[in-house]
Amino acid sequence: MVLAGYDPYIVNNIAGPLLGGKPSLGFVYPLFYTAIVLVVALTIVGAIALYNAMMGFVNRPLAITAGILSELILVLMEFVNDGSRYPYLFLSGNASIPVNELLNETIPLPLVAIYTMIASTLIFTVIFSIVLYYGLFRRYLPETGE
């Protein structure tokens, strides 16, 4: 909750009432907690897949599950990241929030860094989608003798 001192609006929307926040939007914090649960599930699936790979075989359904979980986590966390800022993007006359309260001065990001982050997110999303496509439809994952 240290971040609440720097970005109270965003933290309240993401943390939700479970961590003492008062969110202005009700859809962001359930997505955040769902993504956390999916990260735990992905960790378990990844550990099992790693163990299976070390034993000499690849479990195809486990690999597909890991890919789907990765995609879901990526999409959910992007919604959380953008959705937590949503109510503060619009000005409403003199009643709006001052811009200096919306800026996070602890993380000064140059425009090049922002473009790099967006590009890398798009590139990795495309790569994960291609791998998932080949795994599901082209059957490039090795078959197991189950």
pLDDT at 13: 77
Per-residue pLDDT tens digits of the chain, which is 146 residues long:
566 666 677 777 787 777 776 766 677 888 889 999 999 999 999 999 889 988 888 888 998 999 999 999 999 999 888 877 776 655 555 565 666 666 666 677 788 988 999 999 999 999 988 888 877 776 665 666 55
Model pTM score: 0.60
Domain-wise residue ranges, the chain: 2-138
Q: How does DSSP assign the chain, residue by residue?
A: -GGGGT-HHHHHHHH-GGGT---S-SSHHHHHHHHHHHHHHHHHHHHHHHHHHHTT---HHHHHHHHHHHHHHHHHHHHHHHHTTGGGSS--GGGSPPHHHHS-TTS---HHHHHHHHHHHHHHHHHHHHHHHIIIII--SPP---
Cβ 30 vs Cβ 36: under 8 Å:
no
Phi, psi of 56 (to 5 degrees): 110, 5
pLDDT at 91: 53
